[in-house]
Amino acid sequence: MSISLNPYLIFDGNTKEAIHFYEKALGAKVIGIMTFGDMPEDPNYSLSDDMKSRVMHGHLQVGEANLMFSDTYEGMPYQPGNSIQMAIHPEDEARAKEIFTALEDGGQVIMPLQKTDWSPLYDGQVKDKFGVTFQVNVAGEQPQY
């Protein structure tokens, strides 16, 4: 059973700038940038123009490694330098649930595991008992950036 793991950097509205900075500084390749506005609109929750322009998911390939990015939701607390999460990508839903449950022990669920347009089980976010935030994602069909 395979699991991949990568750093996930969180910014507050300047993720596109950060992606292009790291692309140049690290000699990386931009795999994709998807904004919140690129996603199907939810009629029950409208996004501001600022929120639509924020990056929901950015992906750089740095050599053989992956570096991922996102902006916060507008108005969410943000502290520069305290914005790195670990993204974990098990191959199947059962393993994702096991990992999430184990990390949840003594920790705090930020966002429960759930089905999304791009994954059968995505973006469960949990802060473990040591204060490290993990995102758990089962790869589904890859979105077109």
Delineate the domains of the chain, giving CATH numbers in brackets. 3-138 (3.10.180.10)
List the chain residues with pLDDT less than 50: 143-145
pLDDT of residue 118: 66
pLDDT of residue 55: 97
| pTM across the whole model | 0.72
pLDDT of residue 145: 46
Question: Quick one: tokens of 68?
Answer: 């991922």
Distance CA 74, CA 13 (A): 8
Query: Based on the number of CB atoms within 10 Å of its own CB, is 128 exposed (0-12), middle (13-18) or buried (19 or more)?
Result: middle
Contact 115, 137 (CB under 8 A): no
